[in-house]
Amino acid sequence: MIEKMEKLYIYSLSGQSAAIMEDVMRCGALQPAAAESMLEEEVAKALQPAQNTDLSREEELLSRLEECIAALKEFGEKRGLFYKRPEVSYEKLTDDRLLLNVLETCSRIEGIVKARDSYQKELQKAELLKTSFLPWERLDVKAADFETGRTKLLLYILPKPQDMEAAKSAAREKELYLYGETISEDAENKYIAVLFHKEDEKAVRETFRILGAKEFVPGGMAGTFEETIQQAEGRIQELKEKIEAENQKLIQEAGRREELELAWDAVKVRIDCLSTKNQMLHTDQVDVITGWVSADKKEAVSSKLKQYACYYEYKEPEADEEFPVLMKNSKLVAPFSALTEMYSLPDSRSMDSNWAIGLFFFIFFGMMLSDAGYGLLLTIGGLGGAKLLDVGEGGKRLMTMLGISGISTMFWGLMYGSFFGDAIPKVAEVFFGVSLSLPQAIDPLTQPMVVLGMSCALGVIHLFIGMGFKAYLMIRRGNIWGAVFDVGFWYIFLIGLPCLILPGKLKYIGIIMSIAGAVGLVLTQGREKPTLFGKITSGVMSLYDVTGYFSDVLSYSRILALGLATGVIASVVNTIGTLTGGGIVGAILFIVIFAAGHALNMAINALGAYVHSARLQYVEFFGKYYESGGKKFDPLRAKTKYVNVMEEK
């Protein structure tokens, strides 16, 4: 159901507003709202808007903590799949001493990281110098020898297929006298040294430019190239040792990662709480805090507010006022609310239909995947993962939903006689020489029309329930005749049509129902038109909508299609796995093909079952009644990333 909401108005002394919001946050029951939108216009104008809270200090600390946590991640203990975030009390999370203690640790880690980063930059420069000088290592020339009174030495990187002979030939054409030597080469370039008279420098540069050569300027050269490379190697080794020393310091600090993570969450919670002050209005001495509270949490919120010298009151929302949507469902239905939220929350004045969505998704998913082996793995993996893994609230809901749907998959797999396809009969025949078959109530391969009939029958029930929800909403809003005209007559007409092909008295009942339903639709579906001609025309044209209903029912044939796909592919995998026959080699190949093939088949068809089961809800079912557009109830609470906050009892 959609939980009832009430508006809360708190009038508190300015000095205690922050403390009130921190205490209310513990309840996780108040969604703050801008006071201007919840107060009467005259009252709002008489109050002063709150000044924007300066959160720069908190945001800077949050950034610092995040960088420190990132620095320690690679050195601390690796967290496995089953790692669970530590649980802390709200008091510990909001204890100011926590931040005071962590600031020193943060500063120390920042100093280590700064020193290491400095060494790493120097290391990159030294390695770049070494790499750029290596092709010239054989050239025994010092920096002072590159230029004399009359000559000059230039170094060029010449792209292949150009070579020194091509350079000399180009120089001879310009009557240039130069001496060139190839020092080294690699797959793409040749590295050459060129000696020439200074007066020819411009012409020499132009010649090599035309050849596509790039001049190499040996910056940072100390002695010969070989000597410079040796010095760079020594510096590289020295820097690596310094970096390793800093890393050792970070390893020693790695045990403080949880402390930093707790501090990060504490700062984030503080920012969330202080941000609410921007939504307040105030006078010189009083702050006005407004928001939405779920009706079942009023007592918890009131018990917190009674501790302060403040005035507060609750008000019902206006008849036409939208309020945040909070859906309350049983533990069995709640996981399926993820399907509704993926689409859109219902309008706050509409209805919560998660029980129907969950029931039909459960049935459709099982019929589409329809293998007892896959269902068993899905149930164990889904429910076990939701219990053992710390994947957050959304992840737990999704895994629980898939785990529950695995139970339906096991049921339909047993109905169809499928356990990893026909794996049991195949193994018995090939490896043990025994003829064995699994019992099955329905064989979808030889009885596809039976499964198709079941799928379409479920589709009709699904659609009729959707139409019933539409009638319920209309009746709840006082439009009883509208429910009769827009839903009741369609029920009569649609039930009567298939009865026309039945024998005996049922056929005459079908004729009567079809005619009565059609006449009712013709006379009522155009009732909003202003003219008689318009009313009759619209009523007659409304009968064309019957094709839409038939199309919707046929959409449920995808249940048969996906169920057949799962079973056929599973059988093909088993057939391929047993092609080599029995024996040790055959058993090994079968195990490999069985594991890989069924894992792929399960993954693809489980995804298909999920998508198409959801599609039948979103398109066919929701199209009959659903009113979307609700805004999710998002109360002020401790939203943490690294720790779980224990709920107050």
Rounded mean pLDDT for each run of 10 residues along the chain, 649 residues in total: 92 88 89 88 81 86 94 86 86 82 90 95 94 92 86 91 84 84 90 90 88 89 90 95 95 92 92 88 89 91 91 91 92 94 93 95 97 97 93 91 97 96 92 87 93 96 96 95 94 92 87 93 88 85 89 95 95 93 90 96 96 96 94 92 80
Q: What percent of the chain has pLDDT over 90?
A: 63
Q: What CATH number does residue 215 fall under?
A: 3.30.70.2750
In a domain, 32, yes or no: no
In a domain, 135, yes or no: no
Tokens of 416: 């169809």
Q: Taking phi first (over 0 means left), then psi (-120 to 50 degrees means alpha), and beta for anything else, what does residue 95 get?
A: beta
What 3-state DSSP class applies to 179?
A: strand
pLDDT at 649: 55
Nearest alpha carbon to residue 312 among 635, 6, 648: 6
Going by their DSSP bridges, the two strands 87-88 and 189-197 should be labelled as unpaired
Q: What is the mean pLDDT of the chain?
A: 91
In a domain, 415, yes or no: yes
In a domain, 539, yes or no: yes
In a domain, 526, yes or no: yes
pLDDT at 49: 82
- Alpha-carbon span 161 to 453, nearest angstrom: 74
pLDDT at 161: 87
pLDDT at 416: 95
Q: Which of 220, 235, 256 is the last residue of a domain?
A: 220
In a domain, 289, yes or no: no
In a domain, 231, yes or no: no
What pTM value is reported for the model? 0.84
Domain range for 406 is 351-625
Our CA dihedral for 396, 398, 399, 401, rounded to 10 degrees, sits at 120
- Alpha-carbon span 493 to 195, nearest angstrom: 101
Q: How many CB atoms lie within 10 A of CB 436?
A: 12
Q: Which of 220, 241, 265 is the last residue of a domain?
A: 220
Q: Taking phi first (over 0 means left), then psi (-120 to 50 degrees means alpha), and beta for anything else, what does residue 563 get?
A: alpha
How many folded domains does the chain comprise? Answer: 2
639: Cβ contacts below 8 Å, ≥ 6 apart = 268, 269, 272
- Terminal-to-terminal C-alpha distance of the chain: 25
Q: Which of 166, 186, 220 is the last residue of a domain?
A: 220
In a domain, 357, yes or no: yes
